Amino acid sequence: MAPSLTKDAPGNTGGRTFFGHPRGLATLFMTEMWERFSFYGLRALLVVYLVAGGPDAGEGGAGHQGGGLAMDLATATAIYSVYNAMVYLLTMPGGWFGDRLWGPRKTVTVGAGIIMLGHLTLAVPGEGAFFVGLACVATGSGLLKANISKMVGDLYNGPDDPRRDGGFTVFYMGINAGSFLAPFAIGTVGQTVNWHLGFGMAAVGMGLGLIQFLVGSRHLDPRSSQIPSPLSAQEKSAVLRKALLWLIVAVLFYGVVVATGTFTLNWAMIPLTVLGLLIPLGMLVRIKRDKDLTRAEQGRMTGYIWFFAAAAIFWMIYDQGASTVQAFGDAKTTTQVLGWHFPSTWFQSINPLFIILLAPLFAAVWLSLNRRGKEPSTTAKFAFSLVVMGLSFFVFVIPMGMASGGTKVSPMWLVLIFLLHTIAELCLSPVGLSVTTKLAPAKYASQLMGVWFLAVTAGDSITGLLSIGGADLSTTGVVAVEATLSALAGFAIYMYRRQIAATMDEAQ
């Protein structure tokens, strides 16, 4: 996309705009697009690679190869869920680095470099390199995500700028452009040619994103280079001491576990999933109880907690699109159209394709309804998204029942499931990004964006704990229970919408 030639609008940093938005949005759009290209390329490959060569591997479509880590589906789902949870858990320290140490722009630069290094490590064969690479990608993503979204908000004239929600929707289209291309490029090469070559392609994508960011950063708002609340020298020393202390404790503890020969993956995964539930809760309580917040900010945080709980349930189901649903597509779905076979990783392009097609429509509908004073409240949008997400898993139960006995079902079932995921996502995710920047107390500008991403951590941590605990997420019974939970949560939020809206002075 090229910048439009319209005149400058309030909040721009240059003479041109990007489809009516500040020109810096083009830089952030392209950077995020390439970062998502690398991230979703790995996401498309991850579960398929982990189960390849094992008992739960499918044929996977054209040219499907073995040579993966031959894990069972429960272990693969747990690893995927823990990895995804950590990606978003680390947005919290990522936001802290942006707020207190480096500023958003420098933090994004460092994060992009670490992500690229992680994908390069994944390109090296070996189980040890694989887990190191995953850790690097998770760390870099945590540094990048909260801060780049915060920089989008900085492009606008405060929370009441009427272009703000539309800007986040455009930014969200950049995310999904990269997500759409990744399974076709990285997924195809990784699944049908060489797994590690696919991981290497992801590194190239992140490298292109880093170059784009460095070249276009002159169009960003000056606030992106500022440190909102810099650490004093005394605070830096205290943070360094605490970090070293925890590092020494972790090294000693796991050193003993390894030395005694009792180490298994659960020694790492269970503590991480528990932290993935406790840390979000602790962060929300700490911010809510901060005595420096005004009464109005306290009220907005009360409303925000409802949104966070709704989002956690949403992501618990949504992220199974790349684990439970993807594994079903790989093993029990016909991966061919008119006799032509395709890699099962291509299923991961369905959701971003629908986002690209439907996001402009949703943005236009919200704007049209807003002009007539009929736009649904944020609370109503969240409630609707949860009901639709529950419906997607009720639909999932049908092909699961049809596929018993070795029968393979039509890929159109997955298309329908991902369509429902998309409709739900468009009612929750871009709106959630925007509402977070609106409701965030000034003291926690970047950190609350990190807390928003912790909703993904909480949802994936629940999925991880269920998998580690032996729950079979690929059975119709479990899928139906998850669907019911989501639908009931949506109805509950809608019933209490007025009480929620009252805490944030939002119209019904």
- Dihedral of CA atoms 136, 142, 144, 148 in degrees, nearest 10, equals 170
* Cα gap 333→59, rounded to integer Å: 10
365 falls within a domain: yes
Give CA separation, 49 vs 65, 95, 129, in Å: 9, 31, 14
Per-residue pLDDT band for 402 (boundaries 50, 70, 90) equals very high
The model's pTM is 0.86
Would the pLDDT of 91 be above 90? Answer: no
The pLDDT score that the predictor gives to residue 329 is 94
Instruction: For residue range 229-284, list pLDDT tens digits in order.
Output: 888 889 989 999 999 999 999 999 999 998 999 888 889 999 999 999 999 889 88
Would the pLDDT of 64 be above 70? Answer: no
Q: Give the number of other Cβ atoms within 10 Å of residue 24's Cβ.
A: 24
Q: What is the CATH number of the domain that holds 168?
A: 1.20.1250.20
The pLDDT score that the predictor gives to residue 59 is 60
* Cα gap 36→108, rounded to integer Å: 14
Instruction: For residue range 149-191, list pLDDT tens digits in order.
Output: 888 878 887 666 777 767 777 787 778 789 999 999 999 999 9
- Among 5-19, 366-380, 470-484, which stretch is predicted with the lowest mean pLDDT? 5-19
Task: Decide if 105 contacts 487 (C-beta within 8 A).
Answer: no
Q: 138: which 2 tokens?
A: 């998770």
Task: Decide if 503 contacts 303 (C-beta within 8 A).
Answer: yes
476 falls within a domain: yes
Please give the residue that has the higher pLDDT: either 196 or 26. 196
Please give the residue that has the higher pLDDT: either 392 or 219. 392
507 falls within a domain: no
The pLDDT score that the predictor gives to residue 349 is 95
Instruction: For residue range 408-452, list pLDDT tens digits in order.
Output: 999 999 999 999 999 999 998 877 877 787 778 878 876 787 788
Provide CB contacts within 8 A for 310, sequence distance 6+. Answer: 382, 383, 385, 386, 428, 489, 490, 493
Handedness of CA 390, 479, 416, 185 (dihedral sign): positive
- Dihedral of CA atoms 36, 38, 39, 41 in degrees, nearest 10, equals 110
Q: What percent of the chain has pLDDT over 70?
A: 92
The pLDDT score that the predictor gives to residue 16 is 67
163 falls within a domain: yes
Please give the residue that has the higher pLDDT: either 504 or 109. 109
Per-residue pLDDT band for 13 (boundaries 50, 70, 90) equals very low
6 falls within a domain: no
Task: Decide if 13 contacts 219 (C-beta within 8 A).
Answer: yes
Provide mean pLDDT across the span 123-146. Answer: 92
Residues in the chain: 508
Provide mean pLDDT across the span 322-328. Answer: 95
Provide CB contacts within 8 A for 419, sequence distance 6+. Answer: 350, 354
Would the pLDDT of 219 be above 90? Answer: no
Any idea which residue has 């009441």 for tokens? Answer: 160
Provide CB contacts within 8 A for 411, sequence distance 6+. Answer: 329, 333, 334, 335, 337, 347
Would the pLDDT of 82 be above 60? Answer: yes
Would the pLDDT of 392 be above 90? Answer: yes
**C-alpha atoms less than 13 angstroms from C-alpha of 346 in its C-beta half-sphere:** 19
The pLDDT score that the predictor gives to residue 319 is 96
7 falls within a domain: no
* Cα gap 32→15, rounded to integer Å: 23
Per-residue pLDDT band for 19 (boundaries 50, 70, 90) equals low
Total number of domains in the chain: 1
Would the pLDDT of 5 be above 50? Answer: no
The pLDDT score that the predictor gives to residue 2 is 36
Average pLDDT along the chain: 86
Domain that residue 48 falls in? 17-502
90 falls within a domain: yes
Which spans in 319-411 are helix H? 324-332, 350-371, 378-402
9 falls within a domain: no
Would the pLDDT of 453 be above 70? Answer: yes
